[in-house]
Amino acid sequence: MADWHRFNVRGDGVELAAFSYGLPGETTPGKPVVLLVHGWPDSHHLWDLVAPQLAEHYRVYAYDTRGFGESDRPAQVAAYRLDTLAADMFAVARAVNSAGKTHIVAHDWGSVQAWETVTTEGADDAIASFTSVSGPNLDFLGEWARGKLANPTPSNIAQALSQVASSAYTAFFQVPVASDAFFRAFGSDKVWTEFLHFIEGTPRENATFGPTLRDDMINGLKLYRANIRGKLASPKPRPTRVPVLEIVNDHDIALRPAIYERTHTHAANLWRKRTTTGHWLPYTNPDYLATTAIEFIDAIENGASGTPNTIDRAHVTGPAGDLIGKLAVVTGAGSGIGRETAYALADLGAEVVLADIDLAAAEATATDCKGKGVLATAYRLDVSNTGAVTEFADQVRNLHGVADIVVNNAGIALAGSALAATDEQVDRLFDINLRGVISGSRAFGRQMVERGAGGHIVNLASAAAFTPSRDLGLYSSSKAGVLMFSESLRAELAEHKIGVTAICPGIVHTNITSNAQFAGAADEDATREKVDGFYAKRNFTPDRVAADIVAAIRKNKAVVPVTPEAEVGYRVYRFFPWASRIGARHKLAD
């Protein structure tokens, strides 16, 4: 167990067991004070792996909320109303920091209680900041649900039903005899450890419970019975001026990300970080949670985040895009699909880091992205240089943080005879198209795995990867390598909740065709002009590919054929490969 030292605090009519991490005399006066608040069915031991990291920077305290752990356990359901729990939190905050403001980090029902606290009048005089993990404001949630039902569009109904399905267990929790008996039978440390491991991969050794777990499970059900029906039936949302960081977990078993979409209408100072993590973040990803909380608290204390821009990009000033708080890296961002993808990611609120061998082109894209109200930075990068790619990934991590999304888009075209191509042309093609993708995926993928908060890698393949052609043998080989590498990497990284997508466009008009080389062509310029003209007439623009890239990230798709001819070619090659082989004999420039 962690180095907790108990003392008592008088709450609203109950004795609360409070704890300092380390003896109070061991902490340095003047450091910011952080108060950790657990949810159901936990106790202060929820924070055993987070508190030591926070204690390197702050004076750290926690407490068992009423009904849990070593605190008093009122028998009446009414004793667990949120206004009473908020009074408890204020009492503990005053006890641990009577002369200053306290930073709150709270999870699950602890976060629900903290929302009640920070929306209480005068809260900004006592609370310096609030980091919310997997626990909404119930008044905000009730308002959100009523708004969806009042405007029953297919999207709104789908979002409401998704949350109803995720919250179905709360109906069972309202039934005292049945739910109490269930947890009396199955509420053991071993069962709960295996549940967390099965649901979201929580390392078994991270699940640190106190000796009161079964009793906490049963008694803590009073939180649900005292608050949910009343709050959702008659929400009374109140504003807060306390700075709030919402950590939104895409894989939260109980709470869908959509329910947070209107928080900004009540929280005047709101930041949001969204990752492919699960509900029990303090157990499953304690390092990520501690790092994120430290960055936010430092930003509030010092006016600047510990790691440049990681918190700055998460600031919510209006209706937030799906990717606000995320960092996206795009190679080949100076034109075509790379540029349009940068625009699409910026439109959704992501900070974008843009790389291209043509720095001026990347800077132009960055300027346009800044006009959309996001942070954007351009770098020169030759993806054929593996060492340069690794250095670039390290530079991004040091200056911007670990990327959440990486789009390995940079590529070139080489058409014509495989026999006529020079060795230099072949080396350059594979160094850029295949090795560049592998290098980018490896460098950024390692960082994502180390962080432990998921991510997504998008690799640009091509319909040529599964459409053989006598004139595209070398190009097709490079893209087929990208496709198979992406499928294999997806399998490797799945356990880390890192998605990998291979995007396979067909005939898309970009400057890749106007710059393509045609090995063995009698008149290369004329051939290039003819092919480029055909692509121009096809008029499938790169912004449409970018839209499919964003959709693939959202839905974590494995392989995405983009154009109609790519869709057809993908299926023909899978089910009628002989037809693909016959078609491969057709000359590209005919």
Residues carrying an active site annotation: 475
State the Cα–Cα distance between residues 115 and 217, nearest whole angstrom: 22
Measuring CA to CA, which residue among 109, 112, 117 is closest to residue 91?
117
Q: Provide the edge-to-edge strand list for the sheet that holds 455-460.
A: 376-380, 351-356, 327-331, 405-408, 455-460, 498-504, 559-561
Positive or negative: CA dihedral 83, 88, 93, 95: positive
Query: CA 64, CA 42: separation in Å to the nearest integer?
Result: 9
Collapse the DSSP code of 471 into the 3-class scheme (helix H, G, I; strand E, B; otherwise coil) and give the result: coil
Sign of CA dihedral 365, 371, 372, 374: positive
Residues 6+ apart with CB under 8 A from 141: 231, 232, 235, 259
CA proximity to 292, closest of 134, 133, 398: 133
Quick one: which of 96, 91, 90, 72 has its CA closest to 5? 96
What is d(CA 78, CA 226) in angstroms, rounded to the nearest whole number? Answer: 6
Short-list 396, 391, 400, 341, CA closest to 365: 341
**How far is it, in rounded angstroms, from Cα 389 to Cα 185?**
55
Query: Which residues, in sequence order, are bridge partners of residue 217?
Result: none
Contacts for 533 with CB less than 8 Å, ≥ 6 apart: none
Rounded CA-CA distance 549/555 in Å is 10
Q: For the chain, how long is the longest CA-to-CA vector? A: 92
User: Which tokens hold the place of 323?
Assistant: 């990717």
CA terminus-to-terminus distance, the chain: 74
Buried b (16+ CB within 10 A) or exposed e, 368-406: ebeebebbbbbbbbebbbbebbbebbeebbeebbbbbbb
Contact indicator for 80, 227 with CB cutoff of 8 Å: yes
What DSSP designation does 540 have?
-
User: CA–CA separation, 31 vs 51, rounded Å?
Assistant: 15
